[in-house]
Structure 1
């Protein structure tokens, strides 16, 4: 029996969580992936991911859209979602690419605890928000040719905000080890994304503690 529904303005079709139907192949950086035909927006699964359950795939896409709503990003800006194998993304659960307008996730993200998973989702979608805000301020489409010039835009903006928030070399480690490391590299876009992820998951933990009475 075919089920249909809508999430965030995008339709999806699934047959009782049956087989994921893969269509055209596309090479995206080091990943060869096939598009999933049951989604209207571009969703791809790497050929190295031999199996992913339709429910898991739907959850990953839904979570990305939920994070966009939370951050005030129009769903028309949703990036291509690419599910990759651990060997294709070995150092993190997720990764955002401004030039290709893609976000990559490994299936294992769904095995993480809720707040840890949400941390990654917010972090990657915050990079999307940085790009979106740059476009609103008049920056053109981001390409390989103009990326170095574009890169200065969020860096300068994020550095000002980080200073305003009182984040310094001495206390940036309170956010995360990754925030400390990227602060040393002057990757202020990453520091800001880590800060937002920390603040928003902290709020979720407080809500859970209040709800559980702990």
Structure 2
């Protein structure tokens, strides 16, 4: 991993990740997440489902060589079709827009320019794949970074919402990370498939809770 990629996994990189709980805020209110053990269970479940989808799409984009706007639009549409909740689709585009603003300031690459010309905000996993490629990373790097972003969103939200011990939560993230290396290998292999054949794993309760979360009068996170 080079220094540019290290910037992408640094929580201080201004990509808007601090506004994303990856569904933890809604899960906490439901009572599904309330301590270290339930946070770890939630994290592993997200990594294995929607996390794999995000990682595969980011890896697919990172593996592209000078794609056209049409190719990127198709990838973005395929990703959108895998997110059932309109609120989650909106949040993903919002996170993608913020990440693109930060990334385009730091790196210059044809794929970033192509995404910036899009008439609509592009989904976050697509933008992430482009930034990894621009920073010299591989498809496997993109998968790892994607999984890391999800892990960081879930665990940091657990600390903020439940007041969990940050050291214990770091151990939760490390335990879940034991799965990530294998899943990143899988995502990098899946990235070689046509975009229509990329994973479509999901969690129906996650989608339902996202719609409910969006109607709250007060919340800490966008999603």
Instruction: Normalising by structure 1, report the TM-score.
Output: 0.29
Which structure has more relative contact order (CA 8 Å, sep 6+)? It is 2
Q: Which has the higher helix share?
A: 2
Higher gyration radius (CA): 1
Q: Which has the higher strand share?
A: 1
Instruction: Normalising by structure 2, report the TM-score.
Output: 0.28
